[in-house]
Chain A
Amino acid sequence: MNLQELQNIKDRVKRDIEMRGGEKEYRVVVSMGTSGIAAGARDVMRTMLDEIARLELDNVEVTATGGLGLEGQEPVVRVERTNREPITYGNLTPDAGRQIILEHIVRGNKVEKFVIGKLKG
């Protein structure tokens, strides 16, 4: 890791902080316990953050949590929207994470093929 990379991280974090505050319409919670991390949750979240930054979305915040208890279906992400039932997605890849941002956060439609949990079947 060199200075340039650290500088990028600094700028990125700074920008994220500036975007913080106020009620966000969407909250994306990423399951980041050991099983989630081992299954690839970090890279799913990174891709989602990149997509949010690329599209300059300011109606969403992404947080990490210590595991949502769905070990068999990691990586797992829960999308919460004001006054709506949360939607839980599982078995995600970075590309699936990108699709969730594009479809769910930008257009407001849940991405049926990645939905898991009680909503399935």
Chain B
Amino acid sequence: MIAEWKMDELALHILDLVMNAIEGGASHIRVRIEESVIQDRLAIAVADNGRGMDALYLESVLGDFSTSKSCHAKPVGLGIALIKQTTDAAGGTFSVHSKVGKGTLVKASFQKSNVDMPPLGDVESTLLVMVIGNPHVRFGFSIKSDQETYHLDTRSHQLLTINMRREPL
């Protein structure tokens, strides 16, 4: 069943990872997108301060999830398994670091010219939905290109300030 779920945009994977993080108790989530034409590379990362996963649980999440019965009632790491599947299919690289009580960092990177790479997709919708839909979570978002980096930060749980910073390369 899971294998049939379609995540045909990286932006949907990002949203899925973010919702996973929230299910995992995160109150601060940082999303980073790095796109380099020069390096022919697109990388995304989602970091959270949620409950984290121990090695055993992580292993079960990353196992052959298409056939596993998903022993957990709430498979918190499912989004991680899905993006790993997408990365593998597109010849990208994938890593996940998680520490119980500290949080989780998921990274995926792709060669932009790879024909199997899914499109980045509608990042704007993903950001609006994640920020507006989760008023109690603080979000940091940064997007980096060959020329510049932008940051958005929704600050405290009341989302009082949003900063944007432009950095020259």
Contacts and interface: CB of A to CB of B under 8 A. Distances in A.
Contacts, number: 98
Given A34-B78, A49-B129, A8 B12 contact: no
Interface in A20-55: 20, 30, 32-35, 37-38, 42-43, 45-46, 49
B82 interface: yes
Contact of B15 (A5, A10, A20, A42): A42
B70 to A, nearest CB: 11
Contact of B162 (A10, A35, A43, A66): A10
A93 to B, nearest CB: 15
Interface residues of A, number: 31
Interface stretch (B51-59, B93-101, B104-112, B130-138): B130-138
Question: Could you say which interface size class chain B belongs to?
Answer: 35 or more
B131 A13 contact: yes
A8 B132 CA distance: 14
Contacts of A14: 162
A62 interface: yes
B125 interface: yes
A57 interface: no
A48 to B, nearest CB: 10
A62 B120 CA distance: 25
